[in-house]
Structure 1
Amino acid sequence: MHSQLFAIIDVETTGGGISGNRITEICIALLKDGEVIDKYTTLVNPERDIPFHITTLTGIDNEMVANAPRFFEIAEKIEEFTKDAIFVAHNVSFDYNVIRGEFRLLGQHYNRKKLCTVRLSRKLIPGHLSYSLGRLCNTINIPHLNRHRAEGDVDATVILFQRLLSLDEDFSTINSFLNPRSKQATLPPHIPTEQINELPEEAGIYLFKNQKHQVIYAGKAKNIKKRVLSHFYDKKTKEYQLGQETHFIDYELTGNELLALLVESEHIRKHYPKFNRAQKWPATTYQIISYVNQRGIIQLALGKTKVLHDSVGTFYNKTEAIEKLEEICETFKLCPRFCTLQSTSEKCSHYRIKNCEGICEETETVAAYNLKVQAAIQSLKENKLSFAIQGKGRTQGEIAFVLVAEGQYKGFGFFDRSEAICNIEDYEPFLKLQQASYHTHAIIRSHLKKHGERNVVYFEEPIRLTAHRIKAIKKKSPKDNIFSDWR
């Protein structure tokens, strides 16, 4: 190992993520037996404009690179220069993937063993608040001139790497990092290996946090450790950027996938993480609302909102809401006009509902009609289901549950198998209250559709139904009967 050749490399780029990054400058210093034996540095024409904010950072502008060689003109030089060397860089994944991307554009494959001086420093010089090149050099008194230029950063990294070599005289740490099984070079620079090793291989959620401990990504998994590592092995720009900004990983065991989905949804709603796309925006809900019009008639209508209100009924797609409104209109002999199922201001003329008793022609009294509307509203409230879905807990002696009361998701919890749980009130001491949303409804609805009545405990309550409603329910399967509000 003492005669091993190391290539200390730094590139400056146009920015724009791994796939869109083009090199504007490259420097390579060859190190052997602890000494620099050769160095190569050049500006590179990226064949695209350099953004102003990049020029502000590096000082490299379009005019400087106009006459510089393009990458295809120096590719052979880089290939030969680093042929027998281990690729070393501060945050190696960035420089290595950018160079590989340039070779890939030429239809060529570039592959080297690699070492990250950020991760090596964390291991061999532990306890520092920051391992960025600039701050680490300031802390351990390494001269770092001409920052954010390839040669200046390489010169500082060379001195840092020489110190790391002196702290690892038998090369045990470097050899462990080079071991293909270690995946050290693949892991993000700011996450200690211990954090990865301590991750459980069980169901739950995980949170990626930045340097300020802000949640930047929330995910769920059947196997937390395996899923977290998969983010770091993924070469997509988004996954790479997520790894670069992650400093801490927290997790929470849930015991089963349903709870993991619900807890993940709550963290996304609460923290609005930068790297989560799905579930960030509140989905539209449709609600049956009631109000009294100028004639004193209680009118039903469909309201569209992105916030859950305590309405007569809440639905998560428009078709479902209209079907329910049509159903109660026909069942209780209401007027389609005053259920806003048609826009005409004259006598109702719905294509299917024909049993209006004349409120639109003023042959039915307002008082009599309003009693029917009130009965319809009451039936909607009374027919909201209450049930619990039980599942595997975090330990062998524990049961997890999700609670839905009167059609609304209330939260989740865990209880010991020895507990006597018989009715809905028995769940309350163990319940962790959560906020219902379109997404929690969709998660539970999907679970019921997939698993049916298995592990579901539902609570029977007196339900007053019209003959029409009873007939409609009998036509459905037992599964639909129990979960009709969760289709």
Structure 2
Amino acid sequence: MKDRLFAVIDVETTGGGIKGNRLTEVCIVLLKNGEILDKYTTLINPEKYIPAQITALTGIDNDMVENAPKFHEVAKEIDDFMRDAIFVAHNVNFDYNLVRNEFKELGFEFNRKKLCTVRLSRKLIPGLLSYSLGRLCDSINIPLTNRHRAEGDTDATVILFQRLLTLDPEGLIFNSFLHAHSKQATLPPHLSAEEIHELPEEPGIYLFKDKQHKVIYAGKAINIKKRVISHFYDKMSKEYQLGQETYHVTHEATGNELMALLLEAEYIRKHYPKFNSAQKRPGITYQIISYINQRGIIQLGIGKTKRIQDSVGTFYNRALATEKLELLCETFKLCPRYCTLQSSTEKCSHYKLKNCEGVCDGTELVSDYNLKVTEAINSLGEEKPSFVIKEKGRHFEEEAFILIKEGRYQGYGYLNSEDQITSIEDYEPFLKLQESTFHTHKILNSYLRKHGEKNVIYFENEVFA
């Protein structure tokens, strides 16, 4: 590490995510050969309000920064001061991304090699309970005064960095962290590189967990390792925050993408992870329902619900439900009025459906009409098939299957080549039962639309009786 120039940095901010978070204070200390060369520190007017909770933490309030320079007024000084230096900070991605975003707002690219004293400390001083700056300084007797101010935190980080340099005299660890393609350079501060190294490059799901091993994100991937690492290259505020709170990554290989999608939906439903947004809310389904009205007529209608329930028919948007109801009305010569396809209380006069046989004006007997409605309802029941989707297993001697019974997802399982399957009941000992939800139905419908029936084996529904 001789002759390398390091800029040890700490910043204070207005708080919030990466986007919209502005600097209020910067301190930079230049080091070479382990010796301090120079220091630069300044308050910065963030040009936005500093929330009270941030002032309580840092002591920096709106009055203090009112006459401080704006970032564009000191940007050149900061750039010149740390030119050709390696950017060093405790939890470096936080400080680095904030400084880079400030330059980006001015239309300039800010690119530096960087080192994280959290990750270096975890490698060179293993076994500590915590690697936060305050706890770390307590553990190895580094004085830390003026906490949560840029200069106080920078001074402590400088001492820490100097000690880390002495623990790696040949610079092997430092150089490995500086390598452009090093996982260490991109991983969040609390995540072990070994956990990432052990991830497989195959389809499945992965779980990000916090310090208490609580699931905070569930995702699916065709290549688990590649997808997990991609999160840490993403500079979006949400992805950055996810990285900061991730301490562990676990995975489950599935052998195929369909099962990964279904498992992802199950983990999101089960754990309601903090950083998942899609699939957390139950989707709206539209169902064709039946009931007997005051005239004793079996009436059909469309109901909206957030649950997959037993009904005459379930659809994922109102247009599909209406289209199916119109088809039933036309095919079985039902009355548009009693299929809730028109609101008029008079004799039906639907613009498209003209073959009503007169139950609305008394021409057709209610008993005859109800027989037709019953026949229409039964026809929809026949459209709920039972089948198995076969997919790739986790290794070449294994086959995955997904079981759907009478149109409803039951779960999944795996079979080995020697397992003998002659009927649908033979799948049940290998079946891992799962919840049928709006999202699993949507995933399966999408799969069938895309792939057709080449991997599908149908069964007669009577086998379940």
TM-score (norm 1): 0.90
String of CA shifts for 1:164-204, please: whole Å, max 9, x gaps. 22221222111111122214222111111111111111001
The 5 Å alignment of 1:46-445 reads 46-445=46-445
Answer whether contact 1:204 1:223 (CA < 8 A) is retained.
yes
State the distance in 1 between where 2:104 and 2:380 align.
62
State the distance in 2 between where 1:310 and 1:278 align.
25
Letter paired with 1:159: I
Answer whether contact 1:28 1:39 (CA < 8 A) is retained.
yes
Deviation, 1:351, is: 2.8
State the distance in 1 between where 2:345 and 2:70 align.
73
SS of 1:20's equivalent in the other structure is coil
SS of 1:436's equivalent in the other structure is coil
SS of 1:449's equivalent in the other structure is helix
Letter paired with 2:129: L
State the distance in 1 between where 2:21 and 2:369 align.
69
Task: Give the CA RMSD over aligned residues.
Answer: 1.9
Deviation, 1:62, is: 1.2
Instruction: Please list every run of 5 or more consecutive structure 2 residues that lacks an aligned counterpart in the other structure.
Output: none
Deviation, 1:112, is: 2.1
Deviation, 1:56, is: 1.7
Flag the 1:152–1:451 CA change in 2: closer, same or farther, 3 A. Answer: same
Deviation, 1:279, is: 2.0
State the distance in 2 between where 1:161 and 1:77 align.
24
Flag the 1:415–1:199 CA change in 2: closer, same or farther, 3 A. Answer: same
Letter paired with 1:119: R
Displaced runs of 4+ in structure 1, greater than 4 A?
none
Deviation, 1:142, is: 2.2
SS of 2:112's equivalent in the other structure is coil
Deviation, 1:135, is: 1.9
State the distance in 1 between where 2:111 and 2:291 align.
70
Instruction: Please list every run of 5 or more consecutive structure 1 residues that lacks an aligned counterpart in the other structure.
Output: 463-487
State the distance in 1 between where 2:460 and 2:220 align.
33
Answer whether contact 2:179 2:185 (CA < 8 A) is retained.
no
Deviation, 1:295, is: 2.1
Answer whether contact 1:92 1:185 (CA < 8 A) is retained.
no
Deviation, 1:357, is: 3.1
State the distance in 1 between where 2:150 and 2:384 align.
66
String of CA shifts for 1:200-236, please: whole Å, max 9, x gaps. 1100111112222222222111111111111111122
Answer whether contact 1:302 1:321 (CA < 8 A) is retained.
yes
Letter paired with 2:296: G
State the distance in 1 between where 2:267 and 2:461 align.
33
Which 10-residue stretch deviates more, 384-393 or 236-245? 236-245
String of CA shifts for 1:352-386, please: whole Å, max 9, x gaps. 33333332223433333333322322222233111
Answer whether contact 1:93 1:185 (CA < 8 A) is retained.
no
Letter paired with 1:156: A
Answer whether contact 2:217 2:276 (CA < 8 A) is retained.
yes
SS of 2:77's equivalent in the other structure is helix
Deviation, 1:256, is: 0.7
| Number of residue pairs aligned between Structure 1 and Structure 2 | 463
Answer whether contact 2:406 2:461 (CA < 8 A) is retained.
no
State the distance in 2 between where 1:73 and 1:367 align.
85
SS of 1:180's equivalent in the other structure is coil
TM-score (norm 2): 0.94
SS of 1:446's equivalent in the other structure is helix
Deviation, 1:93, is: 0.9
State the distance in 1 between where 2:454 and 2:126 align.
51
State the distance in 1 between where 2:376 and 2:230 align.
52
Deviation, 1:132, is: 1.3
Which 10-residue stretch deviates more, 174-183 or 74-83? 74-83
Letter paired with 1:196: I
Deviation, 1:52, is: 2.1
Which 10-residue stretch deviates more, 160-169 or 186-195? 160-169
Deviation, 1:461, is: 4.8
SS of 2:251's equivalent in the other structure is strand
